[in-house]
Every structure is written in C-alpha cells, then in structure tokens.
Amino acid sequence: MSFGAVAADVAVWVVGLAASVGGGAWLVPWVLRHAEREPQAAAEAVAVLRGGTWIGLLERLCVTGSLLAGYPEGVAVVVAVKGLGRFSELREHPVASERFVVGTLASLAWSAALGIVGHVLLVAL
C-alpha cells in the first residue's frame, strides 16, 4: 500500500469522524428544537437526560467508526448500551422518552450515513 493510499484512508477516517461528531452536535439539537411542542416538557426532559450531549458525541463517534471499520454489528452494541443505560430514567420519566427517541434516531441516522459513505470511499480507494 502506497503512502498516498494510506494518506487517503486516514483522511477519510479523520474527516468522517469529525463530520459525524461535529455535524451531529449541530444537527441533533436542531432536530430536537423542531420536534418539541411543549417548552416545559422539554426543560424537564433535558434535566432528566443529563449528560446527553456527551453521550451523543460518543455514540456518533462509535457508530461512524464501526461502520468505517466494516463492523456494522458495532451499531447494535452502541444502541443496546445506550438503551440499557437510560432505561430506568426513561421508565421513571415518560416525558423524556420522546426526546430520547428523537435525539437518538437523528444521531444514528447522521452517523450511520457518514459511516456508510466513508466505508464506500474506503473500499473504492
């Protein structure tokens, strides 16, 4: 493998992961703002789902990374860990469950799309 090919692979990884984490940090809050109907419920959901921003950043990093690596099963692991980690909070505070689902789906869709595009580029290089 030539230096140029390695550099191209590294560039796809760096750009893909950065776009996933950075772009998702903008996209997910935008989707949540447009999906919420009641500001008071949104404030309660945010309080219940503390740490959600960091969890989302790590989720996008792991999903995009696993797809770039050609390991789509990693997405299931991320979803399982996230769901199990939030289960008790969501059961006790149903108002937070809608925000959790919408945010998770937006985050997963964004990171999976970038991971798939990046993987296609890696295979083509």
Residue range 74-86, pLDDT digits in tens: 999 999 999 898 8
2: left (phi > 0), else alpha (psi -120 to 50), else beta? beta
Q: How far apart are CA 75 and CA 62, in angstroms?
A: 8
- The stretch 58-76 carries a mean pLDDT of 97
Neighbours of 93 (CB within 10 A): 16
Give the 3-state secondary structure of residue 70.
coil
Q: Is residue 50's pLDDT more than 70?
A: yes
pLDDT at residue 41, as a whole number? 67
**85 vs 69 pLDDT, higher one:** 69
- In this structure, what DSSP letter does residue 125 have? -
* DSSP one-letter string for 10-64: HHHHHHHHHHHHHHHHHHHHHHHHHH---HHHHHHHHHHTTTHHHHHHHHHHHHH
CB atoms within 10 A of CB 45: 23
Whether the pLDDT of residue 119 is over 90: the answer is: yes
98-114 pLDDT, tens per residue?
888 899 999 999 999 99
pLDDT at residue 123 greater than cutoff 90: yes
Provide the residue type at 61 as one letter.
L
At 71, is the secondary structure helix, strand, or coil?
coil
pLDDT at 37 over 80: no
> What is this structure's pTM?
0.89
Distance, in Å, from the CA atom of 55 to the CA atom of 47, rounded to the nearest integer, reads: 14
In this predicted structure, what is the pLDDT of residue 95? 77
